[in-house]
C-alpha cells in the first residue's frame, strides 16, 4: 500500500510540537555536556551552543503560543505562596546542615 505525502505529513501543530520536543531534548544534551566538560574551550563552545539552542527552543514555544497550540495557565497566588514557603523550608534546612 503506497502512502501519499498527504497521508504522512504532520499538521502544523504536530510539526511544531515535534520541533519543541526535539529542542528540549537537545537542551538536555547540551546541559549534560556542559556539566561533564573537562576543559574550558569545550565548555565555552558547549555553553555558546546551549544559549543558542535555548533561543531556538523559546522561538518555537512562542510560535506555538501565538497559534494557540500551547496553553499557559497563569499561576494562582495561593499556589505561588505555597511553593515559596516550600522553597524557604528547604533553604533553611540546607543552611542548618
Distance of alpha carbon 72 from the chain centroid: 14
Identify which has the larger pLDDT, 60 or 73. Answer: 60
Q: What is the pLDDT of residues 19-62, one digit of tens each?
A: 999 999 999 999 999 999 999 999 999 999 999 999 999 999 99
DSSP H helices, 37-76, are: 40-66
Long-range CB contacts for residues 92-96, cutoff 8 Å, separation at least 24: none
CA 25 to each of CA 19, 29, 53: distance values in angstroms, whole numbers, following the listed order: 10, 6, 10
Q: In whole angstroms, what is the distance from residue 33 CA to residue 37 CA?
A: 6
Question: Contact at 8 Å (CB) between 32 and 5?
Answer: no
Q: What is the pLDDT of residues 1-25, one digit of tens each?
A: 566 666 667 899 999 999 999 999 9
Q: In whole angstroms, what is the distance from residue 33 CA to residue 76 CA?
A: 36
Amino acid at each position: 500500500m503506497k502512502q501519499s505525502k498527504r497521508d504522512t505529513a504532520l499538521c502544523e501543530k504536530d510539526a511544531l510540537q515535534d520541533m519543541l520536543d526535539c529542542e528540549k531534548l537537545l537542551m538536555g544534551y547540551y546541559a549534560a555536556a556542559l556539566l561533564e566538560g573537562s576543559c574550558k574551550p569545550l565548555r565555552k563552545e558547549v555553553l555558546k551552543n546551549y544559549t543558542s539552542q535555548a533561543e531556538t527552543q523559546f522561538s518555537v514555544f512562542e510560535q506555538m503560543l501565538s497559534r494557540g497550540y500551547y496553553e499557559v495557565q497563569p499561576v494562582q497566588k495561593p499556589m505561588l505562596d505555597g511553593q515559596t514557603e516550600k522553597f524557604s523550608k528547604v533553604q533553611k534546612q540546607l543552611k542548618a546542615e
